[in-house]
Amino acid sequence: MSGWWDWSYVAQFFPYFLAGVPITVLLAVAALVLGSVLGLALALMEMSGRRWLQAPARIYIEAFRGTPLMVQILFIAFAIPFALGYTPNRFVHGIAALALNSAAYISQIFRAGIESVDHGQVEAARSLGMTHAMTMRAVVLPQAARVVVPPLTNELITLLKDSSLVFAIGIPELTTRGRLMASRTFRPVEAYALLGVMYLVLTIPLSYLARRLERRLSRGVRRPA
Residues in contact with another protein by CB under 8 A are 118, 120-121, 123-131, 134, 138-139, 142-143, 223-225
Q: Which is nearer to another protein, 89 or 131 (CB)?
A: 131
| Nearest Cα to Cα of residue 78 among 170, 169, 164 | 169
Residue 173 in contact with residue 167, Cβ under 8 Å?
Answer: yes
| Nearest Cα to Cα of residue 102 among 146, 158, 147, 57 | 158
- Measure the CA–CA gap between 48 and 132, rounded to whole angstroms: 9
Q: Which is nearer to another protein, 51 or 222 (CB)?
A: 222
Q: Which is nearer to another protein, 184 or 219 (CB)?
A: 219
Q: Which is nearer to another protein, 70 or 128 (CB)?
A: 128
Q: Which is nearer to another protein, 142 or 196 (CB)?
A: 142
- Is 225 in a helix, a strand, or coil? coil
- Least Å distance, CB 153 to another protein, is 21
- Least Å distance, CB 216 to another protein, is 15
- Least Å distance, CB 90 to another protein, is 43
DSSP string, 87-136: ---HHHHHHHHHHHHHHHHHHHHHHHHHHTS-HHHHHHHHHTT--HHHHI
- Least Å distance, CB 63 to another protein, is 33
Cβ neighbors of 97 (< 8 A, separation 6 or more) are 69, 72, 73, 75, 76, 77, 166
Q: Which is nearer to another protein, 211 or 216 (CB)?
A: 216
DSSP string, 55-74: HHHHHHHHHHHSS-HHHHHH
- Least Å distance, CB 222 to another protein, is 11
- Least Å distance, CB 47 to another protein, is 18
